[in-house]
Amino acid sequence: MSEDEERDEDGEGEEKQQEGTAWIGKLIGRLHHHLRQLPVVGFNSGKYDVNAMKRVFLPLLHTQQENLRPIKKDNNFMSIETDHLKFLDLINYVAPGFSYSHLLKAYECQETKGFFPYEWMDDLNKLEQTSLPPADAFYSKLDGTHISPEDYVSCQKVWEERGMKTMKDFLIWYNNKDVVPMLEAIQKMVDFYRDLGIDMLKDGISVPGLTLKYLFMNLESDTYFTLVDKEDVYKLFKETL
């Protein structure tokens, strides 16, 4: 083998080594990003919670986190990403019209949602009240529903058993009661997708995104997609649908 041929082979070997190193570097970078980005999940938070506090929340998030990347659909924040946080709405991972109570029932969660007098709580000073308000304070104009006598007795029992002193204690209990069963539901959902080889909270921000991910994971190697580039063919397809 001549000196020039040896030099060419050495050059090709170095080039392949550099390509391999670059590929490994990209893979490590993706892994680091995957591990350091923490999902923060709410239910219907994209439509309600984020919009309710966005004037304070988004500027504060922008000052404390790098590369703020919101994804909106109309007035709904489907996702808000930074380098270290990823805010998601669980409602995008369930069927349309699915309520929180439907979610807990579908995943057979052991704990259930608590009760709170939302519309009665119109003043922060009421958090210092030293007893539960009457049952009619739990009436919801939004739903047109009253708390049942059994559920009100249950709230009184919680107050006594947990030694609550003020409505602030009751609010803390209610917030925790609201979160714990959702964590159970999320864990069951994550386990389902993990069995399919998908990281639910990292691979998509909605069911369609996860479905697309699963589709491309299971396509035959020779499968390809193409676009219709002729207007008459496009119209023919459209008219026959």
What is the reported pLDDT for 37?
A: 87
**pLDDT tens track for 37-66:** 899 999 999 998 999 998 998 888 888 877
d(CA 171, CA 150): 20
Q: Which of 73, 107, 111 is nearest to 92 (CA)?
A: 73
Cα 50 to Cα 87, 98, 204, 213, distances in angstroms: 10, 19, 19, 27
Decide if pLDDT at 156 tops 70. yes
pLDDT, average across residues 199-225: 89
> What is the tens place of the pLDDT at every residue in 113-138?
789 999 999 999 999 999 999 999 99
| In the predicted structure, residue 239 carries a pLDDT above the cut 80 | no
Residue 206 has pLDDT above 80, yes or no: yes
Instruction: Decide if pLDDT at 27 tops 90.
Output: no
Residue 36 pLDDT class (50, 70, 90 cuts)? confident
